[in-house]
């Protein structure tokens, strides 16, 4: 490696370390579909709010979602 490529790597690392303060996980929506099927919550927005409140991305996972090992 040349000195310029090492400097460029440091610059890229510094750039990506500071690009976002917050990060949000995303899903394909299967977890929300399962909650919708198994609960009496009527609003999908309410389901999203509840998942944030519960700190659980897939509370029905052991029973309904496939697990990749």
Q: What is the mean pLDDT of the chain?
A: 73
Q: Give the three-state DSSP class for 45.
A: helix
CA angle 10, 12, 17 (to 5 degrees): 95
43-66, pLDDT tens digit by residue? 999 998 988 888 887 776 667 666
Spatial CA neighbour of 54 closest among 37, 39, 69: 39
Q: pTM for the full model?
A: 0.53
Residues with Cβ within 8 Å of 61's Cβ and at least 6 positions away in sequence, in order, are 31, 67
pLDDT range class, residue 30, cuts 50, 70, 90: confident
pLDDT surpasses 60 at 7:
no
Residue 8 has pLDDT above 60, yes or no: no
């Amino acid at each position: 490696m040349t000195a310029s490529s090492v400097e460029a790597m440091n610059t890229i690392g510094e750039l990506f370390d500071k690009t976002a303060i917050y990060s949000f996980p995303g899903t394909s929506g299967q977890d929300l579909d399962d909650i919708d099927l198994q609960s009496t919550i009527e609003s999908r927005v309410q389901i999203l709010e509840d998942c944030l409140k519960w700190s659980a991305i897939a509370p029905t996972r052991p029973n309904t979602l496939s697990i990749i090992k």
